[in-house]
Amino acid sequence: MSTQDFDVVIIGLGPAGGTLANLLAMNNLSILVLEKEASIYNLPRAVHFDDEVMRVFNTIGITKSLTKKLIINKGTKFVDEKGNLLLDWPRPKVISENGWYPSYRFHQPDLERSLRHKLKKFEKVIISQNSEVYKTISHKNYSIIQYKNLKTKQFFSVKSKYIIGCDGANSFLRKQIKCEMEHLGFEQRWAVIDLILKTKKINLPDRTIQYCNSKRPATYCRNVGKRRRWEIALKEDESVEKFFDSKTLWKFLSQWVSQDEAKIERKTVYTFQSAIAKKWRRGRQFLVGDAAHLTPPFMGQGMCAGIRDASNLAWKISICCKKGHNDRLLDTYQSERSSNVRDYINTAMKMGELLNSIGGSKVSDTVYMEKDGSIKMNSIKPKLGKGLGDLNDKNRGKIFPYLKINFNKEFDDLFSCYPILITNKKVSENKLKIRTYSTIDIPEIETILKKFNSNSLIIRPDRFVLASTDKNDLKDFSRFYLNQIFAL
């Protein structure tokens, strides 16, 4: 059992693991991805992501292939048993500050293929499928990962600076490093039925509908192509086998679609839960995505949260691999992400209560009443939690908007791996020890600085503002914040 060295070992090659691996690979790190399954699971699972996540996919460079297989999501309506509208959550077809539409529907195997295809272009990335991790051993400066090839029955041991568990709700790594889950109160069994329509001539909604009902709440999703999904709450003592009996199931679905009009692609049962790990990190081992938190699906934010985790952690791990381990920097991963994901979980739980007809339509602070009395909701945008930067800085933690510069180049490409400083001052980059772009170099920056009402900004690789200032002397300003990141 020989030992090979890597910068990072990732356990799990779902959307979160695939995204994280790509972001790390962009920083020229050596990466081993261990995936238990032999191949991509070719049936639907996650079906939604938002503009913030699409921006991450654009950073990776997979949007060109992916957009051909997406549809723009029009939003969600909550209706009562009589079909009366209780809450409308529209997703306008308008490009957001992230440079993309607010909401998309997708087929998860399409996304996973795009992520894996991109990974194959990096020489320092190894993907090992049929690989089950059975032990990790943590040392001060590295960890040992022991795994078994399920096909050949061979055992392997590798050495890595960091281990990251993207291995889902039943995470091996979470159990291995003994991170307990804090359960937040929502737990309910739901049947999930994915159908493929046999014809396009069918009168089904073109958006998500949440059917609020105290006895049998249900969700309908308009997915890509001819795919449609129904999620149906099961009663506590209800037999899954009995509910999935063909006659019983089609009788329930008959209010929307008949057996002549569609075929069942997949049927399964999930226990929708709300939970968050108390610790997302132990030493050099980290949890990402469902390994760290579980979100009820009523907002479509489960996978999105995992992609945001990956975006936050990737650049911090990369800097530690290149510049030296920095506990203070790595501690900010959980502190910045946990409060953000908790806001999504809490809102999804309130939506679940509305669905079960035990809660009202005030599911978030973004709910408002129109002049005609209808109740609508804007998408929530939870802040970045405590971590890097000064909480008193009015711009710290805000999303830095997507920007196209001359010849249609993307400004995002300039800070995908390291922070940058933008300013309307004339400065010497060498003195500041940070890559700097001024309004003289890129005139389009002026508009952004005015938006933030600031003369200078430091922007993080995950597209958040780290700091802002109106001071003329940027040397001390940049040194202070770079010390937080690089431990200068």
pLDDT tens for 25-54 read: 999 999 999 999 999 999 899 999 999 999
Structural fold of domain 406-486: Glutaredoxin (3.40.30)
Report the amino acid identity of residue 437: Y
Residue closest to 335 by CA, chosen among 285, 409, 397: 397
Residue 473, pLDDT score: 84
* Half-sphere exposure of residue 121: CA atoms within 13 angstroms, side-chain side: 10
SS (H, E, C) 388-422: CCCCCCCCCCCECCCCECHHHCEHHHHHCCCCEEE
Can you tell me the distance from the alpha carbon of 281 to that of 401, in angstroms, rounded to the nearest whole number?
A: 30
Burial class (CB in 10 A: 0-12, 13-18, 19+), 412: buried
Give the pTM. Answer: 0.96
Residue 488, pLDDT score: 47
Query: So where are the chain's domains?
Result: 3-70+105-181+278-332, 406-486
Q: Which two tokens stand for residue 273?
A: 């839960």
Can you tell me the distance from the alpha carbon of 295 to that of 467, in angstroms, rounded to the nearest whole number?
A: 31
* pLDDT value at 179 more than 50: yes
pLDDT tens for 344-403 read: 999 999 999 999 999 999 999 999 999 999 999 999 999 999 999 999 999 999 999 999
* pLDDT value at 1 more than 50: no
Query: Would you say 55 and 402 are in contact if contact means Cβ atoms under 8 Å apart?
Result: yes
Confidence of residue 406 (pLDDT cuts 50, 70, 90): confident
Query: Would you say 177 and 136 are in contact if contact means Cβ atoms under 8 Å apart?
Result: yes
Question: Which DSSP string do the residues of 224-240 spell out, in sequence order?
Answer: STTEEEEEEEPPTT--H
Q: Of 10-19, 52-61, 359-368, 467-476, which gets the smallest average pLDDT?
A: 467-476
User: Could you tell me what percent of the chain has a pLDDT over 70?
Assistant: 98
Burial class (CB in 10 A: 0-12, 13-18, 19+), 122: middle
Can you tell me the distance from the alpha carbon of 30 to that of 264, in angstroms, rounded to the nearest whole number?
A: 42
Strand partners, 127: 33
Query: Would you say 395 and 468 are in contact if contact means Cβ atoms under 8 Å apart?
Result: yes
Q: Are strands 227-233 and 181-197 parallel, antiparallel or unpaired?
A: antiparallel
How far CA 126 is from CA of 120, 130, 361, in Å, comes to 8, 13, 48
| Residue 384 DSSP code | P
Q: Which class is domain 3-70+105-181+278-332?
A: alpha beta
Strand partners, 243: none
Query: Would you say 14 and 22 are in contact if contact means Cβ atoms under 8 Å apart?
Result: no
User: Could you tell me what percent of the chain has a pLDDT over 90?
Assistant: 92
Can you tell me the distance from the alpha carbon of 72 to that of 207, in angstroms, rounded to the nearest whole number?
A: 10
Query: Would you say 140 and 159 are in contact if contact means Cβ atoms under 8 Å apart?
Result: no
Residue 400, pLDDT score: 97
How far CA 259 is from CA of 23, 197, 252, 266, in Å, comes to 44, 10, 11, 14
- CB neighbourhood size of 58 (10 A): 20
Residue 472, pLDDT score: 86
